[in-house]
Each structure stands twice: as structure tokens, then as C-alpha cells.
Amino acid sequence: MLKFCGIALLCAAAASLLQGTKSPLYTYLPLLGGICITVYAFGRLGETLSPLRSMSENTEMSGYAGTLLRALGIGYAAELTADVCRGCGAERSASAILLLGRAELVLLACPLLVRLLDSALSVLS
């Protein structure tokens, strides 16, 4: 973790030094650092979620665990994409991506909400 914090600080320092020179590297250097860190983070996330997925496969909660993992993926992907868009100065694209991510999460949650309401109705009757 500390080496990636160091990479981020080095990229930020180098970008601030290059800012005065109007070099095109000023924009790409932090973006490259962010991509390296993101690739590492997604690799670590896959290692972490793999045991969770294998534990939930043999239970009644397997459908819910899969939906939860999908929702986490959608949330992370939308936030990451929005941050990259903001970094490039495309604030409207970032807002649109976040709105799309939220809409996808609502669509993903609809079947769970229907199951929850069915369960509540069966308990009440």
C-alpha cells in the first residue's frame, strides 16, 4: 500500500513541477499513476472477493451475494470512470456516468425488492 501512496505522491509532485512548463505530460502523468493504482486495487479486490464468492455458492444466499458483488462492481466502476472524467476536465460526463451507475443499481435492486416484498406478504398472510 505504501509504495502506491509513494507513486501517487511522485506523480502529483512531478505534475506540479511540469505545470509551469505547459508540458503535455502535466495531464498524463497523474492519469498514468491513477491507472497503475487502480489496476493494482482491482487485482487485490478480486483476490479478496474470490473466497467470499466460493463460500456463498453453497448457501441460500448465493443469489444475493452475486447481486451484492455486481452492485459493488457497478459502484466502483462508475466512481472510477467519473473520477477519470473529472481529472480530464469533463465534469458533465462524470455526472452522466454517476447518474447511469445509480440507475443501474436501481435496476439491479428491483428483483431483490420484489423478493423482499413477496417474503413480507407471505409472513403477513
| 38-73 residue pLDDT tens | 777 777 777 777 776 676 676 666 667 778 888 888
Percent pLDDT > 90 in the chain is 6
pLDDT over 80 at 6, yes or no? no
**Rounded to two decimals, what is the model's pTM?**
0.60
* pLDDT on residue 18: 75
Which residue is associated with the grid cell 489496476?
39
Give me the chain's average pLDDT, please: 79
